[in-house]
Every structure is written in C-alpha cells, then in structure tokens.
Copies of this chain bind each other. A is one copy, B any other.
C-alpha cells in the first residue's frame, strides 16, 4: 500500500528536534500527498487551501509548489498515488483462490473494506465523485484505472462462480454492480453522511457488508447449493 499504514491523521514530522528547514526531498511528496488526501477528503477540493496542506505536511506554502506545479496537479497526484497498482495484487489473489465462489465473494468484500474502505484511501472515491464535474479528466482517469479494473475483477469472480456451477446464470453487465453498489454506498455514507448523522443512524460496516453479501449470495447461488452463512 502506498500510504504509510499508521499515519492517518497526525502531523508527520514530529520526531526529535523540530528543526526548521529540514531537508527531506524524498519524503516531501509523500507527506504532502498524505496531507492533501486528508484535507481534500475532509473539506473538498475548493475549500482546502494549499497553505493548509503545506502546514499539515509541516512545510511552507512555497515548498508545496516545489513538488507540485499547481493545486490541481496536486489533486491529480493524490488520486494517482492513492490508487496506483492495487489491482495487480488483487488479481493475483483471485487467481490463487481455490475455494467456493461464495466464500470468494465474501472474502473480496471484506478484503476491500480492510484495504480500502476503512483507510483514508476510501475518501478518494468520494472525492472523485464529488469533484468529477470540475475534473472530468480525473474522473475519466479514475474510471479507467480503478473502476474498470475493479469491474473486471468482480466480473471474473462472478463468471468463475457461474462456470463452476456455484452461481446460477447471471446478467453479468448488471450483476457486477450488485457488488459495487453497496461498496460505493458505504463509502459515500461514511464520508458524507455519517459525520452529520445521529448515532442511531450509523451503519456498522462489517454488519452491513455481511448482510449485503448474504442477501446477494442468496439470490445468486445455484438452486441446489447450500447457502453460505456468515
């Protein structure tokens, strides 16, 4: 995973002496991208000031422009960085998987939650969707680099299920979205609505995912297969 796993919200450079003008050319872009990710997700693109991003990364405004030629390019870099090359790994896992397709589906969904959904990277999708109108280019890029591969991976998983006789025949072009929709929904919920909603309206992600998988599998499983409980 490109983002350091544990540095979610804290300021990155808090080790030892707080020396001004520290020279960390290698580390800077990463720190800036991380700060930008957090702030963009939190406040949106327009409402985030580059100065805030710089401050959160522990550098001055000018330094940011040393690494990214503009706020827009910073945004693009955030998107690119956060999603880069995650699918190779997943495709391989899928190829290696030898068990029941229902289990594979459930594993996939949980795995997505752990690696994307619950990490700050999940904010990226929300971000892209929110700002797509302003950055069609970024949206198209995201579609190509994330949605399309994800779509294909899920399609292959379902097709495997059908081919193995685990699942009954499915209308692939739409069935794929039966798995994607709950994830997108969860993510939008988490980033958009959850912070504004009362405790009673919160959603437990694990429960949510399990329930969606249960219901979908119940609809997809081949007739004489025994259902897969959680």
Q: How far is the CB of A174 from the nearest CB of chain B, in Å?
A: 3
- Chain B positions within 8 Å of A147 at CB level: 193, 201
From known contacts A128-B192, A184-B184, A193-B143, infer whether A212 and B133 are also in contact, taking CB-CB under 8 Å: no
- Chain B positions within 8 Å of A126 at CB level: 129
- Chain B positions within 8 Å of A13 at CB level: none
Q: How far is the CB of A43 from the nearest CB of chain B, in Å?
A: 5
Q: How far is the CB of A70 from the nearest CB of chain B, in Å?
A: 15
Q: Establish whether residues B42 and A197, one from each chain, have CB atoms under 8 Å apart when the complex forms.
A: no
Q: Establish whether residues B192 and A129, one from each chain, have CB atoms under 8 Å apart when the complex forms.
A: yes
CB within 8 A of A140: which of B131, B139, B197?
Answer: B197
- Chain B positions within 8 Å of A131 at CB level: 44, 130
Interface of A is mostly: helix
Q: Establish whether residues B192 and A133, one from each chain, have CB atoms under 8 Å apart when the complex forms.
A: yes
- Chain B positions within 8 Å of A217 at CB level: 219
Q: Chain A 132-152 against B: per-residue CB contact (8 Å), 1 yes, 0 no?
A: 111011011011000110000
Q: How many identical subunits does the complex contain? A: 4
Residue among A137, A188, A216 having the largest count of chain B Cβ atoms under 10 Å = A188
A65 at the interface (CB under 8 A from B): no
From known contacts A184-B188, A185-B177, infer whether A220 and B212 are also in contact, taking CB-CB under 8 Å: no
CB within 8 A of A218: which of B42, B207, B219?
Answer: B219
A165 at the interface (CB under 8 A from B): no
A7 at the interface (CB under 8 A from B): no
A168 to chain B: closest residue by CB: B218
A181 at the interface (CB under 8 A from B): yes
- Chain B positions within 8 Å of A46 at CB level: 44-47
Q: How far is the CB of A161 from the nearest CB of chain B, in Å?
A: 13
14 inter-chain pairs at a CB distance below 8 angstroms, sorted by A residue, are: A44-B46, A44-B131, A44-B133, A129-B129, A129-B192, A132-B195, A132-B196, A139-B197, A143-B201, A180-B185, A181-B181, A184-B185, A218-B220, A219-B220
